[in-house]
Structure 1
């Protein structure tokens, strides 16, 4: 058994324990990888979370889905913020500062000493930048082999607003260039022209066993119609995929109409979102959109004005074609010693009417919808597809 396969078993075991079914004897309660199996979905979500350095965490606490950008900036993801992770909409600027402290004698002489330093360092960065302590997260403290009197501090800086994060990053760079000679904690930081890297980063991705609503699961078979309507917009059914429904009705108690299917005022249309967190150079040919190059920003401003002159989030009107490797990351589960099954995952979302601009190009099929408000996209289902399932053609999907 490989390390990854053992990890998958461990994740499923944690899910079973959280779901009050702690049968971790996988010979008796086997792991059966298939599209309709919730445990397959749990492995899919764990695979998704690992892209961002996070860990799947099961909790029995009631999770609110309000203000997903705020929670993501603090390092906590959940099913309401999955689209923000996949698009790198809430990026973390990752720095590596060098401090004139001996790792062994100054920091690692006890766990308490290290914990206090990490906390003091995070608070100090937040203090000089006048931002929330929650927006600064130390990810590791490493000794330098070449100079034992110095230590490297790796940390991330994030806010819910990418523009604000950029301002804080430039402020921190300027301060580090001049040094922090008069600061009690940061005086140990070496003056330098520190660079940084943008990367989505979370600590935990929280799940409740009750986050799923299996009574609303759907197997989108070829016998179903390919098109319907939601919120006054066409809804292109994801034929060939299996939907695991999320329990979201009580997550937005102030809004009773958004999840409807009667095309009434207040109902939100359906769109799709990919799960791959890698670097994508703009919106690609078809299907689900994950973009680091905001190609439609100028066109969005022309459509709806200056409000849309901000970093954009993209969803697609069509799911078919979205399983292309550019937009989803395949993962495998061993079914038997000789057989493995490969799956892909897509998020099915409702999106707020009048909160997006509509773009034909450069997608080949359907439209790209661009948003600037992260709260205007609400995942309500997770689509999963076995790679061995025949993919309907774009022509068949219309």
Structure 2
């Protein structure tokens, strides 16, 4: 496992809160963590400036806030801080037994499957495993390699609605009338407007949207991503290759929105790579 403080910095960058260790109970589970990361990006797409999350409170959605600078204040001038310190117990949050360093691994033509779908391993990255085994009522098959496993999905901090709309059309984009008609139709159909949480099965694409930070531990620059599993029943394919969307219908309240994310994305790895 990389330096624990470095991992906490990476978590801070992803979730927008300053994450510190504690020997007591964690404020966030790994599932809570991916919920926060996903909801932050979604609510920013919707034009909100703040996010409420249980056990944390009100968080600022201001872009690229420095987690180690002076806290942001509420827009109403009240002086109340929106930048929170979140405590996690590393023993509860990380699962070092399953860490895997892909830094010097190159897969070449090797093929891997998860849930009978192509798995592009995070070669070049160092994966810190999250403690997610035996945490879900439906068991651990979602995390396996069999038919019931969920496909692998990578999530970057800057993956949002600019990545593309969903198309109700089979095959890659082209200039055929049927494709163009489908594209036009997708602009007016509510379920194809791309409202929701974006991720990708392609680690190289995810890297282009990842967050980079300078560590106070060693002064080096690092890239950071989340490695998740995505519920194949809850994803939609966008018109841009290798982009997946968890669609959130309009009119859902905060609790319903959080439930959709929680039923669709499950984290299992924090990925770090020296920039």
Structure 2 stretches lacking a partner, 5+ long? 61-71, 170-184, 248-259
Rg: which structure is higher?
1
- What is the match of residue 232 of structure 1? 116
Structure 1 stretches lacking a partner, 5+ long? 1-34, 69-76, 96-131, 143-150, 157-200, 277-289, 388-398
Change beyond 3 A, Cα 1:62–1:254: farther
- What is the match of residue 271 of structure 2? 383
- Could you tell me which of 225, 228, 232 is aligned with 1:346? 225
Residues 1:43 and 2:6 aligned together: no
Contact 1:275–1:329 (Cα < 8 Å) also in 2:
no
Change beyond 3 A, Cα 1:92–1:357: closer
Q: Alpha-carbon deviations, 1:371-392, whole Å to 9, x = none?
A: 12312011210110012xxxxx
Equivalences for 1:197-346 in 2 at 5 Å?
A: 203-210=84-91, 211-220=93-102, 221-224=104-107, 227-261=111-145, 263-265=146-148, 267-276=149-158, 290-293=159-162, 295-297=164-166, 299=168, 311-324=195-208, 326-333=209-216, 335=218, 340-346=219-225
Q: 1:239 aligns to what SS in structure 2?
A: coil
Task: Tell me the distance in 2 between the aligned counterparts of 1:91 and 1:307.
Answer: 16
- What is the match of residue 55 of structure 1? 18
In the TM superposition, residue 350 of structure 1 has moved relative to its aligned partner by: 0.3
Q: 1:236 aligns to what SS in structure 2?
A: coil
Task: Tell me the distance in 2 between the aligned counterparts of 1:343 and 1:232.
Answer: 32
Query: TM-score of the superposition, structure 1-length normalised?
Result: 0.47
In the TM superposition, residue 299 of structure 1 has moved relative to its aligned partner by: 4.9
Residues 1:374 and 2:269 aligned together: no
Contact 2:165–2:239 (Cα < 8 Å) also in 1:
no
In the TM superposition, residue 322 of structure 1 has moved relative to its aligned partner by: 3.2
Change beyond 3 A, Cα 1:137–1:317: closer
Change beyond 3 A, Cα 1:135–1:229: same
The root-mean-square deviation of aligned C-alpha atoms, in Å, is 3.8
Query: TM-score of the superposition, structure 2-length normalised?
Result: 0.66
Task: Tell me the distance in 2 between the aligned counterparts of 1:316 and 1:137.
Answer: 26
Change beyond 3 A, Cα 1:298–1:318: closer
Task: Tell me the distance in 1 between the aligned counterparts of 2:166 and 2:270.
Answer: 28
